Structure 1
Amino acid sequence: MSASWENYLQTLAEGTIETYPLINPHTREKITDIPECTEEQMENAITKSEQAFQQMKALTSEERSTIIETACTLIAEQKETFAKTIVLESGKPIKFARGEVDRTIQTLKFAAIEAKKLEGESIRLDAAPNGAGRDAYTIFQPIGVVGAITPFNFPLNLVSHKVGPALAVGNTIIVKPAEKTPLSSILLAQVFEEAGLPKDAFLVITGDGPKLGKVLIEHPAVAKITFTGSPQVGKLIKSQAGLKKVTLELGSNSALYIDNSVKDKLKDIAQKAVVGAFSYNGQVCISTQRIYVHEDIKEEFLHYFKEATESLVYGDPNEASTDMSGMIDEKSQQRVLKWMEEAVTEGATLVTGGVAEGYGVKPSILTDVLPQSKVSCQEVFGPVVIVNSVASAEGALTEMNNSEYGLNAGVFTYVLPQAFEFAHNLEVGQVLINDLPTLRFDHMPYGGLKSSGYGYEGIKYAIREMVHMKFISMNYRF
């Protein structure tokens, strides 16, 4: 069976009379009509998911692992279908879409491995007075229905980061995908069905986020909410979730420091930074947004960086040569352009870009940007990067920490004590030494400080947030 979203949408449409148009971000043409599912449909989905949980928790870890491995094989066999669907609904250039499919397979393979590795520990109760004569240990058990709310920018892999851990431990999951990119998650659900997953263990419900998300948050049968999106929505979810488990992956404006000790590597670093700043039009939560360069090397770095930036190709995202394409919608495009105009008015210098290109934004570099300018202190989520000079590594550390966000940060330096200083004192969840802050491997712990999030993803770490730990004691002297 080949994955196809048409039939799934038709089934969803049977329960509702309202739809909304799904728009191709690059062409602004209509793709199809998406069912605007009702609160009742979400409630019905939760009931089905709760019933399917009885089957899921009865599966052995080997059986769950095999199902996930089979799904990986099916995705690999239909790689182009998945990649072209990502291009269609998100406007992501095909080379990045193919990379996302590869990462999804890798993510789910890690989930298949971790399904067999979730182990408790033995507890020495005789370490306490009167504790002798007892064997004690802990086990982990699935929690039930997981509600997942996912964003548009990685419509397949960020879904798999929630689906993989949930299914690996025997939970069921309901995905409410971004309104602008529901098709990839539907294909993923169909693949899992074909792989042998119990019916209704993985459901996708399309439609309005606030309306349907409210049902997930308030329904007593939903044991956990896992959300990737804006800090504003994340904080609202946390305030309303009560005693449910919650994982929130929120915003960032990732910073990078380039020290003068790496002067001989500036051209290479500039090429890497272009990828980190402008991949998928900068619509990445760990996109390299703020670059701080030692004043001794700023001009040389800026020369290489500008040259590499201006070589990027805007065009049809279905073409392998395309680097840049249309942004997700016109509202995002206009916001990014406005923020750059404001920064220039506040004293920043526009090095390149700063204008619309088709339905996108030409990759843009700003220097001498004030800390309070929106392109510096907020999350641009567009193809814009600032390059400011600093007099010292200490100054860079201060500037990098001057943010309400704290997800990833990168540092290029050959000075070992300096590297450790950044590693220990950067106020972020992940520090990448001699790498970009845009780096993420799918099995590493991934979570932010400050307004960047709550809880952790990364398969093994996400799993621990989707189980209950139970303590068991056996009194063998009774």
Structure 2
Amino acid sequence: MSKSFEIVNGTPHYNLYIDGEWTRSLRNESTDSMNPATGELFARVQQAGKAETERAISAAHGAYKAWAGLPVSAREAVFFKAADVLAAKAQEITDVLIAESGSIAGKSGFEVGYCFDLLRTAAAEMRRSPGETMPLTAPGQFGFTVRQPLGVIAGIAPFNAPFLLAMKKVVMALAAGNGFVLKPSELTPVTGLKIAEVFDEAGLPKGLLNVIPGPASEIGATIFADPRVRMITFTGSTQTGRHLAVEAAKTLKRFTLEMGGKSPLIVLGDADIDYAVKAAAFGIFFHQGQVCMANSRILVEEPIFDAFCERFTAVAKSLKVGDPREPDTVIGPLIRGTQCAVIDGHVEDAVAKGAKLLCGATHKDQYYWPTVLSGITPDMRIFHEESFGPVTSIIKIKSAEEALEIANNTDYGLSAGVITNDMQKALDLAFGLDSGMVHLNDCTVSDEPHAPFGGVKNSGFGREGGRFSMEEMTELKWITVQRGQRAFPM
């Protein structure tokens, strides 16, 4: 029986997962996966190229029709078994997330726990009837719609929530009857391979799921060129998403894009300040701010602005920065040390243009301390650009109307939050915000397996989650039935 990895000189060496087998690439090339907290080698991972990508696509294409044709009870049984396997491997996967992505224990546990709900949601979706019947003009005729799988779907996953976001793509595509090829982030390849372990042990028919870590350029070019790949689902940067959309359009592949954000949290003057501070802190400092929907802009109404800044800064200063394995750590390492220079550039530009640094702007190795700025204006880079780190801007507003104007002054539109006791203003803002998701009396960070997750403008295209994923990942077909004989005009 093939194995996902072997220990060589104390380091796990991971294989690719193609057509139900753990295998090396033809070139037998590996790359290092590093622990961002320590800078030490975590694992070595085989790298797929064109040949392995073509094998993965062929396997998925050859397997999906038989899978889609199975009784729903047989397909959902695999998902229930996968949940059992996930339970048995929960601590192992949590440990991998901590070591490979720098996630603190609480965040890693959340990812794994989310995927239990995700598997149940997907199993339930297989039981839903997605079609409808409709009357037609011709006498004795009626129509109905059905949804059928696209065939092969390729997924490109990010590093920041590598298990949850990759699992969401895989699980919903399989639930819709498709085969799947997953390219994990080059920074968190082992986490993606753990998904293959779960489904392999759960008895998923061979070929349906293939996990191929490797260089994005080579794998991507092969996926784009192959007509058997009907859809690409991507989570990552806006720059990469734009390129992907252009390439996919050349061969009319479907795509969903979940990209960057500059999400606003609006705190009106009647809000409970302590609650708003807690919500805002979680919304920006969760996973070191490496979250696409993080509230990196906090818009606070003038009457409570000073008090909010003081209390929020105190909280930011109190958060422990350090080893993500320690239970009281809140801020772990950034995935790359080079991101510290990006954040420094944003902070220095803002301060040079008149912003006030309330705390932070210090870093060591791949750790960046919680950073808070006030006095931010639209001429500063940090107002518009995504820092993707533990840094936020507090902006003073005079009214809900001004908050709406400032919040919408961005090319992004992923998530938004509003904290107020005035439900009329809350709803007015919810309807007026240019955002795919709005959370009232909450921060901007929220996700549910059955909810439509996604953004507008440069933040995304399409939706993920529950039946919304099923709609994206299936083809809608209209069928008509003639009762008796139709009268033709000739």
TM-score by length of 2: 0.93
Corresponding position of 2:441: 434
The one-letter code of the counterpart of 1:34 is: V
Q: Could you tell me how far apart the structure 2 residues matched to 1:17 and 1:196 are?
A: 27
1:120 matches 2:126? no
Given that 1:337 and 1:361 are in contact with CA atoms closer than 8 Å, whether structure 2 keeps it comes out as no
After alignment, is 87-96 or 12-21 more displaced? 12-21
Question: 2: distance between equivalents of 1:214 and 1:68?
Answer: 31
Equivalents in 2 of 1:204, 1:16: separation in Å? 17
Q: Give me the whole-angstrom Cα distance separating, in 2, the residues matched to 1:372 and 1:73.
A: 52
Task: State the alpha-carbon separation in 2 of the partners of residues 33 and 102 from structure 1.
Answer: 27
Q: Distance in 2 between matches of 1:334 and 1:162?
A: 32
Return the alpha-carbon distance in structure 2 between the equivalents of residues 78 and 44 of structure 1: 28
1:415 correspondence with 2:426: no
Deviation at 1:442, TM superposition (A): 2.4
Q: What does residue range 69-88 of structure 1 map to in structure 2 within 5 Å?
A: 69-88=80-99
Partner in structure 2 of residue 451 of structure 1: 458
* Larger deviation, residues 139-148 vs 29-38: 29-38
1:318-354 Cα deviation digits (max 9, x unpaired): 1111111111011112211222112111211110001
Q: Is the 8 A contact 1:64 1:167 kept in 2?
A: no
Residue 18 of structure 1 is matched in structure 2 by 29
Q: Output the CA distance in 1 between the equivalents of 2:55 and 2:79.
A: 25
Which string of whole-angstrom CA distances, capped at 9 and with x for unpartnered residues, describes residues 389-421 of structure 1? 111111111000000000110011112221121
State which of 41, 44, 61 in structure 1 corresponds to 2:55: 44
Contact 1:149 1:213 in 2 (8 A): no
Q: Which amino acid aligns with 1:32?
A: A
2:42 aligned with 1:34: no
**Residue correspondences, number:** 472
User: What is the 5 A alignment of 1:15-414?
Assistant: 15-125=26-136, 128=137, 131-242=138-249, 243-262=252-271, 265-414=272-421
- Report if the CA contact (8 A) 2:14-2:190 is conserved: no
Q: 1:16, 1:35 within 8 Å by CA — same for their partners in 2?
A: no
1:178 CA drift (Å): 0.4
Distance between the aligned counterparts of 1:118 and 1:282, measured in 2? 39
- Partner deviation per Cα, 1:279-325 (whole Å, 9 max, x = no partner): 11100011110000001101111121111111111121111111111
Q: Secondary structure at the match of 2:162?
A: coil
Distance 1:417 1:237, change over 3 A: same
In structure 2, give the amino acid aligned to 1:462: S
Secondary structure at the aligned position of 1:92 is classed as: coil
How many Å separate the matches in 2 of 1:472 and 1:14? 44
Q: Deviations over 1:358-404 (max 9, x none)?
A: 42100000000122322220111100000011111111110000000
Once the two structures are superposed, residues 247-278 of structure 1 have per-residue CA deviations (whole angstroms, 9 ceiling, x without a partner) of 0101101101100111xx11122012111111
1:164–1:459 contact (8 Å) kept in structure 2: no
Give the C-alpha shift of residue 12 in structure 1: 4.0
When residues 261 and 5 of structure 1 are mapped into structure 2, their CA distance, relative to the original with a 3 A threshold, is farther
Q: Which amino acid aligns with 2:130?
A: E
Give yes or no for contact 1:49–1:174 (8 Å, CA) kept in 2.
yes
The answer as to whether partners of 2:296 and 2:392 remain within 8 angstroms in 1 is: yes
Q: CA deviation at 1:189?
A: 1.1
User: Does the CA contact (< 8 Å) of 1:24 and 1:30 recur in 2?
Assistant: yes
Q: CA deviation at 1:473?
A: 1.3
**Paired amino acid for 2:147:** F
Structure 1 unaligned regions, length at least 5: none
Is the Cα–Cα contact under 8 Å of residues 321 and 329 in structure 2 kept in the other structure?
Answer: yes
CA–CA distance in structure 2, aligned partners of residues 82 and 389 of structure 1: 42
Q: Which consecutive unaligned segments of at least 5 residues does structure 2 have?
A: 7-12, 17-21, 486-490
Q: Which amino acid aligns with 2:350?
A: A
Do the aligned partners of 1:25 and 1:89 also contact (CA within 8 Å) in 2? yes
User: Which range moves more in the overlay, 206-215 or 377-386?
Assistant: 206-215
1:120-173 deviation line (CA, Å, top 9, x unaligned)? 001111xx2xx1112321111111110000100011000111011101121010
Q: CA deviation at 1:119?
A: 2.1
Give the partner amino acid of 1:326. P
Matched, 1:9 2:15: yes
* Paired position in structure 2 for 1:466: 473
Q: RMSD in angstroms over aligned alpha carbons?
A: 1.7
- Distance in 1 of aligned mates of 2:213 and 2:374: 42
Q: CA deviation at 1:4?
A: 5.5
Structure 1 runs, 4 residues or longer, greater than 4 Å off = 3-8
> TM-score normalised to the size of structure 1?
0.96
Secondary structure of the residue aligned to 1:409 is strand
- TM-superposed deviation, 1:14: 4.1
Instruction: Work out the CA distance in 1 between the residues paired with 2:411 and 2:235.
Output: 17
SS in 1 for 2:198: helix
CA contact (8 A) 2:400 2:425 kept: yes
Q: 1:4 to 1:47 in 2, by over 3 A?
A: closer
1:310 partner amino acid: K
Whether the aligned pair in 2 keeps the contact of 1:407 and 1:447 (CA below 8 Å) is yes
CA contact (8 A) 2:45 2:190 kept: no
Checking the alignment, whether the CA contact within 8 Å between 1:20 and 1:35 is kept in structure 2 is yes
**Cα contact 1:293–1:390 (8 A) shared by 2:** yes
User: Residue 64 of structure 1 contacts residue 170 of structure 1 at CA under 8 Å; is this kept in 2?
Assistant: no
Q: Is the CA contact (8 Å cut-off) linking 1:179 and 1:206 kept in structure 2? A: yes
Residues 426, 14 of structure 1: alpha-carbon distance in 2 compared, 3 angstrom cutoff = closer
Local SS of the residue matching 2:15: helix
8 A Cα contact 2:419 2:442, kept in partner: yes
